[in-house]
Amino acid sequence: MHSLDDYLREAEHAHGHLCAGQVLGIRMAMFGLRLLAIDDPRGADRKRVVTFVEIDRCVTDAVSLVTGCRLGKRALKFHDWGKVAATFVDLHTGRAVRVAALESSKELARRMHPEIESRNRQQMLAYREMSDDDLFSSQWVEVDLPDHDMPGYKGARVVCEACGEGINFRREVLRDGHTLCRACAGECYYRIVAPSE
């Protein structure tokens, strides 16, 4: 694994700025990988890790940077729970650890650096200095990861009988004997509107 400073430089370039969330995400991923004894997640161990993230914020970009897990490689899984937490799964051993940021770390950052007015700058510095125990809680967990959710899975593609769009990775819904995509089955996140002129 790289050093914290190396990752921070990469994160600033990749994310567009450096913030407390980036520092926290890098530390979170480094901690989780260390607990799993994964040393080279973007190199020799690149096919060994799947990561579940629980928030769509700066932290997630940093976790992805350290682990090498990406949505497009199916190694980064997103659950929109609004929590600053991630679960790191070692595909070789089956072990998994969930790491969550402690709310108390924000107050500790204020106490550590009261001379800094900006909360973001205060946290950026303190999050670099705090121990893992002051920043995170961790739990050993089990994660069910079926074959069709694994990186590299090549499964059958089916077609929605209502809209005609293709569906991958067993995400279809069977309803009244018909194969539907989730949108046509009523789980749509968008509404179709008339085109603007």
Per-residue model confidence as pLDDT tens digits over 64-111: 999 999 999 999 999 999 999 999 999 999 999 999 999 999 999 999
Catalogue the E-assigned strands of 18-171: 49-53, 76-78, 85-90, 96-101, 136-141, 158-159, 166-167
Position 154 scores a pLDDT of: 83
Position 197 scores a pLDDT of: 63
- In angstroms, rounded to a whole number, what is the distance separating the alpha carbons of residues 13 and 52? 23
> What pTM was estimated for this model as a whole?
0.88
**Contact between residue 168 and residue 156 where contact means Cβ atoms under 8 Å apart:** no
Show the low-confidence residues of the chain (pLDDT under 70): 197
**Contact between residue 90 and residue 67 where contact means Cβ atoms under 8 Å apart:** no
**Contact between residue 75 and residue 51 where contact means Cβ atoms under 8 Å apart:** yes
* Alpha helices in 47-141, H assignment, sequence order: 58-67, 104-112, 119-129, 132-135
Architecture of the CATH domain 155-197: 2-Layer Sandwich (3.30)
Which CATH number does 4-146 carry? Answer: 3.30.1330.130
What residues does each domain of the chain span? 4-146, 155-197
